[in-house]
């Protein structure tokens, strides 16, 4: 059972990120509505396919939701299933692709996708080294529970690479505003 978690901003303050060969301060950016997604490479699938975020979301109306961990209770029981279940409704409202992001390796993400019948509906992105969540201000230090930095629970609506909506769950152990039916109401 995951406990209530506080957000410790100070712990990450001195971390320096190496991004595409350049050093950036950890507070480089916090992604907000109106921002373009960064041109970062994440990994999709056990074949370790590199995907560029800007290319992935260009010209499409997409959902990107983040979860603290594949196979963790809330993520598995409630959050991912809501997007698998409501996929057709999301498409009917003009969403052409749905992605789930986590700081988990691609083999774990694939296994989790298989266990939840997500194939053909929700695509899995591995932010394996937490570079996206750190840069976007969406990381959560879960070292004491899961062994490292993870993603906050969030959902974004992205249009042609620009963030149009961003909701972050205040309590990462719960899924309320980041569930598919909540997003559907705002589309």
Partner 1 sequence: TAMTSQVKPGDRLPQVTLFDGAPNKPVRIDELCAGKSVVIVGVPGAFTPTCHSSHLPGFVADFDKLKAKGVNLVICVAVNDPFVMAAWAGALGSGDKVLMLADSRAEFAKALGMDIDLTAVLGSVRCRRFSMHVVDNVVKSVNAEEDSSKVDASSSCRLLTKI
In 3D space, the residue among 57, 29, 62, 60 whose CA is nearest the CA of residue 42 turns out to be 57
Please check whether residue 65 is in contact with residue 74, taking contact to mean a CB–CB distance below 8 angstroms: no
- 2 interacts with partner 1 by CB under 8 A: yes
Q: Please, what sign has the CA dihedral across residues 129, 76, 169, 38? A: positive
What contacts 31, CB < 8 A, 6 or more positions away?
A: 37, 38, 135, 136, 137, 138, 156, 163, 166
Nearer to partner 1, 3 or 22 (CB): 3
Cα–Cα distances in angstroms (integers) from residue 4 to residues 1, 61, 108, 171, 172, in the given order:
10, 33, 25, 7, 8
- 81 interacts with partner 1 by CB under 8 A: no
- 60 interacts with partner 1 by CB under 8 A: no
- The region of 12-20, 69-77, 79-87, 177-185 touching partner 1 under the rule CB under 8 A is 69-77
- Distance of alpha carbon 104 from alpha carbon 109, whole angstroms: 6
- 42 interacts with partner 1 by CB under 8 A: no
- 162 interacts with partner 1 by CB under 8 A: no
Beta bridge partners of 158: 62, 163
Quote the distance between the C-alpha of residue 31 and its chain's center.
Answer: 12
- Considering only 52, 97, 129, 165, the residue that binds partner 1 (CB under 8 A) is 129
**Nearest distance, CB of residue 126 and partner 1, angstroms:** 8
75 catalytic residue (yes or no): yes
From the candidates 8, 75, 100, 177, give the one annotated as an active-site residue.
75
- Considering only 148, 171, 176, 181, the residue that binds partner 1 (CB under 8 A) is 148
- 92 interacts with partner 1 by CB under 8 A: no
Question: Which are the catalytic amino acids?
Answer: 75
State the residues that interact with partner 1 by CB under 8 A.
1-2, 46, 48, 69-73, 76, 103-105, 107-108, 110-112, 115, 126, 128-130, 143-148
């Amino acid at each position: 059972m995951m406990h209530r978690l506080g957000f410790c901003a100070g712990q990450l303050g001195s971390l320096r990120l190496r991004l595409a060969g350049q050093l950036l301060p950890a507070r480089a950016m916090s992604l907000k509505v109106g921002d373009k997604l960064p041109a970062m490479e994440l990994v999709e699938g056990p074949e370790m396919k590199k995907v560029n975020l800007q290319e992935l979301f260009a010209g499409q109306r997409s959902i990107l939701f983040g979860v603290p961990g594949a196979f963790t209770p809330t993520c598995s029981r409630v959050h991912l299933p809501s997007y698998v279940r409501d996929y057709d409704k999301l498409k009917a409202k003009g969403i052409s692709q749905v992605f789930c992001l986590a700081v988990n390796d691609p083999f774990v993400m694939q296994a989790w996708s298989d266990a939840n019948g997500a194939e053909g509906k929700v695509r899995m992105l591995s932010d394996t080294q937490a570079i996206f969540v750190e840069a976007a201000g969406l990381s959560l230090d879960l070292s004491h529970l899961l062994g490292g930095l993870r993603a906050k629970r969030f959902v974004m609506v992205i249009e042609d690479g620009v963030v149009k909506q961003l909701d972050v769950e205040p309590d990462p152990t719960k899924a309320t505003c980041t569930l598919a039916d909540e997003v559907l109401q705002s589309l």
